[in-house]
Chain A
Amino acid sequence: MSDTILDDNASSLSIPTDIARHMLDLDEDDDLEVFSKETTEGSSFNASMPTSPGSMINQYKFEEEEEDIDTKDIFVLVDNPESHVTAIETYITYRVVTKTTRSEFDSSEFEVRRRYQDFLWLKTRLEEANPTLIVHPLPEKFVMKGMVERFNEDFLEKRRRALNRFLNRIADHPIFSSTEDFKIFLTADVGALTSHKKLGPGFLSRMGESVRGLAATVRGVRNRPEEFTAMQEYVEAFGQKISSVDKVTQRIVREQKEYLEDLKECAPTYTLWSNSEEELAEPLRGMASCLERCYQETEEQVKELNDNLNPTLHEYVLCTETLKTVLRRRDNIQAEFEAKTEALLAKHADRESIREDLNKMEDRLELANNALKSDWTRWKKVMRTDLRSAFMDTAEKNVNCYEKCLAVWESFLLSQRTDAEGTQVSDSS
C-alpha cells in the first residue's frame, strides 16, 4: 500500500507560495521520494475498489512523460455514477477516489461524491486564480434535446470518462494540483464544500473584473510579443484541423454503423439458403458464420472509435476554445498595462500612485506571460502524447479486427479446400 512507501524522512512537496519560483522547478521533482513500480500499475488501490484494470491503465497511459511516472504522488479516479432523486430535481453524482502521499493531505485515502456542478466550480476557480494557465476542458453541459432518457448508460459512461480525464489532468498539473480548491474538492464532505464555495470572490468582484476586462478588450493590445501572436495563429489553425479530424471521425463512425446494419442481414440470408441445399448447405452455413463473426468484430472496432478516439478528439476541440480564451486574457492583462502606461503621460495624472499601480501591473503581466509560456509547452507535450496514443490505439484496434476476420475466413477456406475433392482452385496470395 502506498502509505508504507513514503517514510517520514522524505521531504514532501511543500505548497509553493511563490508560484513564479515553482514554475522554474517544473521538471525537477528531485525532492520527491521515488515510488516502487507497483504504484504505477495501480495496485496501490484497494482491492475492494471496483475499478477496472482498463480504467486504471487508461488514466496512467497518457502520463507517459519520462520523469513523472515514478514521482507521481497523487492518484485520482472518478467512477460509479449514481442518481439522486430529491423533491426538486434528479441529478447524478460520481464517486471521486483519491490516494496520495502528499503531506498537506490529512490522510492518504479519500472518497467523496461530486456532481457535475462541483467539477464546474473547480474549473472556474482554477481559471480565475490562474487566468493564463490552461485548464483541461470539461465535458459539455448536457444540452441535447429530444434525448428521452437523460441519464442513459452510454452518456453517463462517456461523461464519467471525461470527468476522470479532467480531474487527472488537474492532478498532474504542478500548479493546479497544489491549490487549496483542488484539495477541498477531493476531500471535503458536501457541507464543507458548499461553505467553501461561498467563500470565493463574490459575484460583484467577478463583475468588476469582467468589466475591466471588457474595457481592455475594446482598447486592444498594441504591442503583442511575437511569440504570442505565433501562438494565436497556431491555435486558429490547430482548432480548424482538430475540428476536421473530429468531424471525419464522427462520419466514419456513422458510415460504419450503417454498414453494420446492412452486414447484419447477410448471414441470415446465407442460412436461409442453406436450408434449400444439400451439397451446398455446409459451405453456406460456413459463410453465414464467417459473416456473423466479422460483424461482431467490426462492431467492437466501431465501439473503440466511439469510446476512445472520438472523445479525445472532442476534448481537443474544446481545448482550442480554452486556449483562445487564455490568450485573450493574457492580451487583456497587457492591454490594461498599456492603458496604465498611457495614463502616466496624462497631464494631471497622479504620477506616484500610477507608478505604483504600473509596477504591480508589470509584475502581473510578466507573471502571466511566463505562466502561459510554460504551460503552453506543457500543454503541447500532453496534447502530442494524447493524440499519438489515441491514434495508435485506433490503428491497433483496426489491425486486431482485420486479424480476427482474416483468421475466420482462412479457416473457412481451409475447411472448403479439404472437403473439395479434385476441384481446381487457385492459390490465395
Chain B
Amino acid sequence: MADSGSEDIAVIGNTDLTPSESENNLKNTMVEKGTNLLKRMEINVAEAEKRTGKNAVNMQETYTVYLVETRAVDATSEGTTPVPDSLWRRYSEFELLRNYLLVTYPFLVVPPLPEKRAEFVWHKLSADNMDPDFVERRRVGLENFLLRVALHPVLSNDKIFYSFLTEENGWKENAFETGFQAMADSRLKALNATFRVKNADKRFADMKHYGDELQSVISQLLRVRARAADRLYGVYKVHANYGRVFSEWSAIEKEMGDGLQSAGHHMDAYAASVDDILEEEEHYADQLKEYLFYADALRAVCRKHELTQYELEMAAQDLTSKKQQQEELATGTVRTFSLKGMTSKLFGQETPEQREAKLKMLETQIEEGEELVKERNTECEEFVKSAWVDIERFKEQKDHDLREALISYAIMQISMCKKGIQVWNNAKECFSKM
C-alpha cells in the first residue's frame, strides 16, 4: 500500500516562523526528500469563521469553521497563481479524520490535533473556545496537523485524507464506508491485553514507558511555565505605574521634571514589551503541547502491539489446549483436570462414536487454530516491523523538532534580554538627567 519512503524527513515544526514560512520550509524539504502529497499540492488552513446552526438535538449552537485551501503546486510554478480550492471544516471533522487514520493505521504514530479546550492557560488567555487568540492558535495547529499528515510517507497517500482536503460534501460518507468505526478496538479489550500479555516486544514496552514519562514531564513543564508567564506579566505591567506616577511627579518638579518624565515613558515601553514576549512564549508552549499529544499517539501504537501480541498468544494458547484435548481423547488419559474428565468419571465414559465425533471436531478446530496462529503471527510480525520503522522516524522528528523549539526559545530569551537592556539603559540615561 504505502510507500514508506525515506524515513529521515526533517520536519521543521512550529518555530518562530510564521505558518506560511514553516510551510515553505516543509515544502523545500519535501522537494528534496520524498514523493509526498505536498510535492503536488499546497495546503493551508487560511481562515476561521463563526457559524451558528442547529445541532443534532435541534438546538442552536455556535461553532467555528476553518477554511482549508489547497492548490496544485505546478500551477504556481508556471507563474500564475490560480485561486485555490477551498472548503470549510469544523474541528469535529478533523477529529473524525484523525480517528479514521488511527484505526486504519494503528502501526503509525499519527500526528495529533491541537487541543480541543484551552489548557495550561495563564491568566491573560481565556479558556474560552470562542476567544480569538485561541481560535487563531487552533487554526495554526490544524494547519500543522494537515501538513504533518501530508508529509508522512504512508499517511499522505491515504484516499480519505485526500477526500477530506478536496471533497466538501462527500468525504464523510467515504470515511464511513471504509467501516473503520467497526474496526476500532474497545478500550476494555486493549486494557485487558496490556495486563495479560506475556511476551511483548521489549522495545515497545520501553517506548510506552518513554511515552508515559514524556507526557508527565511535558505536562509539568507546561504547568510551571504557565504560572511563571503569569507572574512575569505582572512584573512588567506594574512598571507602567512608574510611568504614570513619574509623569504626575514631574509636574511638580523643576529641575527633576524632564528626567522623570522621559524615564516614565521608558517605563511604559517596558511594561508594554511583555505582550510580545509572552506571545512568543505561547508559541513555544504550543510546540511542547504538540509533543505532549504525540506521546499519546506513541503509546497508542505500543498498546496496539500489546493487543496484537496478546491475540497471538491467545490463539496459540487456544491451539495448545485444543491439541492437548485431542491427545487426551486419543490416548484416554486425563492429564489435567477438566470438566470432561470429571463428568466422564461421574457419568461414565462416552461411547466410541461420541469420541470419534469429538476427535473429528477437534481436528478441524486444530487446523483452523493453526491457520489463525499463523495469521496472527504474521500480523504481529508485520505490525512490529512497520511500527518500529515509524517509531524510529518519529524519534528523529521529535529530536529535531524539540531541539529547534529549544533553540527558538533561547532566541526569544535573547531578544527579551536585549530589549530589557535597551529600556533600562535609556531609563538610566533619563534618571541621570534628574
What residues make up the interface of A, taking CB atoms closer than 8 Å to B? 234, 237-238, 241-242, 244-245, 248, 251-252, 255-256, 258-259, 261-263, 265-266, 269-270, 272-273, 276-277, 279-280, 283-284, 286-287, 290, 294, 384, 387-388, 391-392, 395-396, 398-399, 402-403, 405-406, 409-410, 412-413, 416-417, 420, 423-426, 428-429
Residues of chain B in range 239-262 having any CB-CB distance to chain A below 8 Å: 239, 241-242, 245-246, 248-249, 252, 255-256, 259
If A262-B227, A413-B414, A426-B16 touch, whether A255 touches B238 (CB-CB below 8 Å) is yes
Our count of residue pairs bridging A and B at CB distance below 8 angstroms stands at: 163
The smallest C-beta distance from B215 to any residue of chain A, in angstroms, reads 11
Task: Give the docked Cα–Cα distance between A279 and B263 (Å).
Answer: 47
- Point out residues on B near A: beta carbons under 8 Å: 10, 12, 15-17, 25, 210, 213-214, 217-218, 220-221, 224-225, 227-228, 230-232, 234-235, 238-239, 241-242, 245-246, 248-249, 252, 255-256, 259, 263, 398-400, 402-404, 406-411, 413-415, 417-418, 420-421, 424-425, 427-428, 431-432, 434
Query: Once the chains bind, are A234 and B252 in contact (CB under 8 Å)?
Result: yes
Pick from A259, A403, A405, A423 the residue with the most CB of B within 10 Å: A259
A242 contact set on B, CB distance < 8 A: 249
A-B contact pairs, 23 of them (CB 8 A): A244-B248, A251-B241, A255-B231, A258-B231, A259-B232, A259-B234, A262-B228, A266-B225, A273-B217, A276-B210, A279-B403, A294-B413, A387-B434, A388-B432, A391-B431, A399-B420, A399-B428, A413-B407, A413-B411, A424-B12, A426-B16, A426-B17, A429-B418
Q: Could you tell me if B421 and A283 are in contact, using CB atoms closer than 8 angstroms? A: no
- Which B residues lie within 8 Å of A417 (CB)? 407
Query: Within the complex, which residue of A238, A244, A263, A290 is in contact with B410, where a contact is CB–CB below 8 Å?
Result: A290
Residue of B213, B249, B404 touching A245 (CB-CB under 8 A):
B249
Question: Contacts of A266 on B, CB cut-off 8 Å?
Answer: 221, 224-225, 228
How far is it, in angstroms, between the C-alpha of A234 and the C-alpha of B424 when the chains are bound? 29
A391-B263, A413-B407, A423-B404 given; 12 more Cβ-contact pairs under 8 Å: A258-B231, A258-B234, A273-B221, A276-B210, A277-B399, A280-B402, A283-B406, A384-B255, A384-B256, A392-B432, A398-B424, A406-B414
How near does chain B come to A107, taking the closest CB pair, in angstroms? 40
Residues of B within 8 A of A269 (CB): 217, 220-221, 224
Q: Are A402 and B241 touching (Cβ within 8 A)?
A: no
Docked-complex contact A396 and B428, CB < 8 angstroms: yes
A276 to B213, Cβ gap below 8 A? Answer: yes
Cα A428 to Cα B399 with chains together (Å) = 21
Residues in A whose Cβ lies below 8 Å from that of B403: 279-280, 283, 416, 420, 423
CB-based closest 9 A-B pairs: A395-B428, A259-B231, A406-B417, A241-B249, A402-B420, A262-B228, A388-B434, A279-B399, A391-B431
Q: A258 to chain B: which residues have CB within 8 Å? A: 231, 234
| Residue contact B242 to A395, C-beta cutoff 8 Å | no
The SS class assigned to the B binding surface is: helix
Residues of B within 8 A of A251 (CB): 238, 241
Residues of B within 8 A of A284 (CB): 406
Q: Which residues of B contact A384 (CB under 8 A)?
A: 255-256, 434
In the assembled complex, the Cα of A222 lies from the Cα of B345 at a distance in Å of: 128
Report if A280-B399 is in contact (Cβ < 8 Å); known contacts: A387-B434, A391-B431, A409-B414: yes
CB neighbours (8 Å) of B256 from chain A are: 384, 387-388
Q: Which residues of A contact B408 (CB under 8 A)?
A: 426
How distant is the Cα of A424 from the Cα of B29 in the complex, in angstroms? 10
In contact, B228 and A405 (Cβ under 8 angstroms)? no
Q: CA separation between A284 and B213, bound complex, in Å? A: 15
**A425 touching B404, Cβ below 8 Å:** yes
From B210, B410, B421, contact of A413 by CB (8 A): B410
Q: How many whole Å from A383's CB to the nearest CB in chain B?
A: 9
Q: Which residues of A contact B263 (CB under 8 A)?
A: 391
**Residues of the A chain whose Cβ atoms lie less than 8 Å from the Cβ of B232:** 259
Shortest Cβ distance from residue A380 to the other chain B in the assembled complex, whole angstroms:
9
Of all chain A residues, which has the CB nearest B433? A388
B-chain residues with CB within 8 Å of residue A406 when the two chains form the complex? 414, 417-418, 421
Question: Are A426 and B241 in contact (CB-based, < 8 A)?
Answer: no
Within the complex, the shortest CB–CB distance from B368 to chain A, in Å, comes to: 44
Given A252-B238, A416-B406, A426-B15 contact (CB < 8 Å): yes
Decide yes or no: A270 and B228 within 8 Å by CB, A399-B424, A406-B418 being known contacts: no
CA distance A426 to B12 in the complex (A): 12
Known contacts A248-B238, A426-B17, A429-B415: does B431 contact A395 (CB below 8 Å)?
Answer: yes
In Å, the complex CA distance between A266 and B25 comes to 31
A284's nearest neighbour on chain B, judged by CB, is: B406
Contacts of A405 in B (CB 8 A): 413, 417
Specify the chain B residue showing the minimal Cβ separation from A286: B406
Instruction: Determine whether the beta carbon of A403 is less than 8 Å from that of B399.
Output: no
Contacting pair A395 B424 (CB below 8 A): yes
Chain B residues contacting A399 (CB-CB under 8 Å) are 420-421, 424-425, 428
Residues of B contacting A237 in the complex (Cβ-Cβ under 8 angstroms):
252
Whole-angstrom CA separation of A133 from B230 in the bound complex: 48
Residues of chain A lying within 8 A (CB to CB) of residue B427:
391, 395
Q: Are B411 and A428 in contact (CB under 8 A)?
A: yes
